[in-house]
Amino acid sequence: MINSQNMQKYNWISKGRTLLLLTLSSVLWMACNKGFERVLPPGNNNDTTRAIIKQAKVLMVILDGARGQSVRDLNSTNISALTDHSIYAWNSISDADINSYTTYADIFTGVTKDKHSVGADLNNTNLKNFPSFFKYIKARQPSIRIATYTTVDGIGDKIITDSDDNRLFANDDNGATQAALTELGNDSAGVVVVQYSNINKQGKQFGYDLSSPQYKNALLQADDDLGKMLNIIKARKSYLQEKWMVVVMSSHGGPFAISPDDDDHTILSNPAVNNFVLYYTQDYLPSFIDKPYTGNRYIGKAVHLVGNDANAVYATVNDTKNFDFSEKQSLTIEMKIKVMPGANGDYSYSNTSILAKRASLDAGIVGWAIVLNQKGWQINIGQNAPGRTNNIIVGGADISDGNWHDIAVAIVTDTMNNNSRTVRTYTDGKANNTSDITGSGNLNNTAPLTLGYLPYIGSYPAPDAYVTEVKIFLAAATDKIISDYACQTFMTKSHPLYDQSIGYWPATDGQGAILKDQSGSVANLQIHGTYSWLGFNNLICPAAPNNVAQTMPQSIDVCRQVMDWLQVSVDPRWNLDGKVWTTRYVSMNNN
């Protein structure tokens, strides 16, 4: 039983707890009110307890012949304003077949030419199996209204299908604009496509560059028309209940002579396929897709190795014993090389010596030579062992793009394994091929170390190339060493094999008839023939062209991007080639 004194004590405790709870509730209430003030400013706020599902809609504006670099440099009012909330690129890529319907088929089918088969005309296509992506939209969401207004004959009636309003305004950009404006003003508008041709027309006649007033004015007119369409969208009565994606892009660029300094010898330096693409929604944070790394810039002067027989420009070190090696010796030979188009103009050579310690390339002639062959390079080893007279050939990689490349050969001798010997080749720091040369004997001979054309009785094809940064080490470089230092344009004492160098010729002296050896051997290369030092400013270790293309938006991506916005699920059986580009949303940034 609880006595009166205990009861009184209990009541005070109970009241204290109640007071504490009330105080905490008051504090929490004020804290919550303070927090909501930051989220919802004072005013007549609407009830947001029910989520509003906004209806996805799309405007696509295709500017035929608008070169991406020109659009970027124009910095026009409306396109530039959209970049604040866009995924965009000025170096996106179109199909190389720009003077045909191919680029339009890429955009509307989402697959490349090897699937849709659309070329210079609209005969013998495979559009039945790879139709316009509007067919897929209609299959998933038949209520979406699609309107297309084109200005080039054949696009609307041959490539585009499943459009509710599909009209041609032949060579009439203004007519297409007016039709699009009318459509955008209708409540039922869902996907609206307008395609312009005047920019391409002016480019063909006057040049695809802002230096042409006609081309520039055509771009400005298209930007002005885009502004009108954006204003119509914002004026829609249902605009606040809609979410619009605006796609602005070009079908392709156009021919234009770019500066040599801007030419990285990849597809990104081809003005004809240089288009642009911009995916805008008001919820996107800006995401600029820049050109990927395509190599370091290499600047200097080098001797032009060219010509054959009496007219050959080459260099030699006459102290032959300096570069004789025991068959137990490991070795690394490395150089930078820039190959020019040969006599046939396509960089293709046949056993053209670049660096050799060998009298000739004939079978049975002992020594080694690094040679150009086809569009790549290889090391050619003549053996010095009983019964072994055939050459050992180990290939490198393709270097036929007019850029500087690093090529290297490592001869690895394993003294712990019966002196087994292996040859490894590398191009731009990446391993190429391997061959076992165990038992081939030493490679010693009385021939001089020769840079460039290999004179002998007879005639090999003449080189047309520049070679710098020639290094010979009395050690086998590891894969990591080759990879880490391949794209450096000079050697410092920090190089792991620096102390094992027996020959290092930067070959960028810039004048005189001597290529100075900067190793401890002091074995200078003497230049022969009527030589010339020529300046260069090129990329070194460029990225592979195919890899570069895959890093940038392409025309085939557009249909995937639009369908993703409309929440149209993609069936793998459609076999589409494009991809969806993503970015962060404004709401995500505020969290």
pLDDT of residue 549: 64
- Tell whether 322 and 402 lie within a shared domain: yes
Calpha distance 115→127 (Å, rounded) = 9
Enumerate the β-bridge partners of residue 143. Answer: none
- Tell whether 311 and 254 lie within a shared domain: no
Question: Is the Cβ–Cβ distance between 559 and 133 less than 8 Å?
Answer: yes
pLDDT of residue 15: 43
Instruction: Dig out the tokens for 587 from the structure.
Output: 């709401």
- In this structure, is residue 40 part of a structural domain? no
- Tell whether 412 and 557 lie within a shared domain: no
- In this structure, is residue 49 part of a structural domain? no
Question: Is the Cβ–Cβ distance between 103 and 555 less than 8 Å?
Answer: yes
- In this structure, is residue 361 part of a structural domain? yes
- Tell whether 513 and 558 lie within a shared domain: no
- Tell whether 326 and 201 lie within a shared domain: no
CA dihedral 169, 175, 177, 178 (to 10 degrees): -130
User: 102-109 and 558-565 helices cross at what angle (nearest 10)?
Assistant: 30
Q: What is the pLDDT of residues 489-537, one digit of tens each?
A: 889 999 999 999 999 999 999 999 999 999 988 899 999 999 999 998 8
The enclosing domain of 217 has a CATH number of: 3.40.720.10
Sequence-distant (6+) residues with CB within 8 A of 559 are 107, 108, 109, 110, 133, 576, 578
DSSP per-residue letters across 277-314: EEEE-TTBPPEE-PPPP--EEEEEEEEEEE--GGG--E
pLDDT of residue 458: 60
pLDDT of residue 33: 37
> Which of 501, 520, 540 is the endpoint of a domain?
540
- Tell whether 522 and 467 lie within a shared domain: yes
- In this structure, is residue 45 part of a structural domain? no
- Tell whether 433 and 534 lie within a shared domain: yes
> Which of 523, 540, 557 is the endpoint of a domain?
540
Calpha distance 486→429 (Å, rounded) = 5
- Tell whether 267 and 373 lie within a shared domain: no
Calpha distance 408→406 (Å, rounded) = 7
- In this structure, is residue 50 part of a structural domain? no
pLDDT of residue 179: 98
Angle at 318 between CA 316 and CA 322, to 5 degrees: 110
- In this structure, is residue 26 part of a structural domain? no
- Tell whether 498 and 561 lie within a shared domain: no
- In this structure, is residue 47 part of a structural domain? no
Calpha distance 45→177 (Å, rounded) = 38
pLDDT of residue 243: 96
Calpha distance 24→21 (Å, rounded) = 5
pLDDT of residue 523: 92
> Which of 506, 523, 540 is the endpoint of a domain?
540
- Tell whether 416 and 504 lie within a shared domain: yes
DSSP per-residue letters across 46-64: PP-SS---PEEEEEEEEET
- CA 507 to chain CA centroid, nearest Å: 31
- Tell whether 472 and 565 lie within a shared domain: no
pLDDT of residue 522: 84
pTM above 0.75, yes or no: no
Number of domains in the chain: 2
| Pairing label, strands 242-250, 274-280 | antiparallel
Run of H or E including 395: strand 392-395
Q: What is the pLDDT of residues 89-128, one digit of tens each?
A: 998 888 888 877 999 999 999 999 999 999 988 989 999 9
What are the residue ranges in the chain where pLDDT is below 50? 1-51, 589-591
Question: Is the Cβ–Cβ distance between 581 and 553 less than 8 Å?
Answer: yes
Domain that holds residue 390: 297-540
Calpha distance 398→87 (Å, rounded) = 35
The enclosing domain of 331 has a CATH number of: 2.60.120.200
- In this structure, is residue 11 part of a structural domain? no
- Tell whether 353 and 263 lie within a shared domain: no
